Amino acid sequence: MRIADLNWMQVESLVAREDRAVLPVGSIEQHAYLSLATDAILAERLAIEAAEPLGVPVFPVLAYGITPAFRAYPGTVSLRTETLAAVLTDVLDSLAGTGFRRVLVANGHGGNQPVLPALEAWQGAHAGVRVRFHSWWNAPRVWAEVQCIDPQASHASWMESFPWTRLAGVEPPSGAKPMIDSSRIATMTPQAVREFVGDGNFGGRYQRPDDEMRAVWAAAVAETRSLLEQGWG
Question: What stretches in the chain show pLDDT beneath 50?
Answer: none
The dihedral formed by the CA atoms of 216, 222, 228 and 232, expressed in degrees to the nearest 10: -90
- Which pTM does this prediction carry? 0.96
Write down how long the chain is: 233
| Class of residue 85 by CB neighbours under 10 A (exposed 0-12, middle 13-18, buried 19+) | buried
Give the start-end residues of each E strand in the chain.
20-25, 102-107, 130-135, 176-177, 204-205
From 94, 99, 102, 79, select the one nearest 25 (Cα to Cα).
Answer: 79
How many CA atoms does the CB half-sphere of 215 hold within 13 Å?
14
Pairing of strands 176-177, 130-135: unpaired
Nearest 5 degrees, angle CA 228-CA 230-CA 233?
110
| Residue 179 CB contacts under 8 Å (≥ 6 apart), including other chains | 152, 154, 202, 203, 204
The dihedral formed by the CA atoms of 99, 220, 194 and 64, expressed in degrees to the nearest 10: -20
Domains annotated on the chain, with CATH: 3-228 (3.40.50.10310)
Residue 141's pLDDT is: 97
**Alpha-carbon gap, residue 199 to 29, rounded angstroms:** 12
Residue 232's pLDDT is: 79
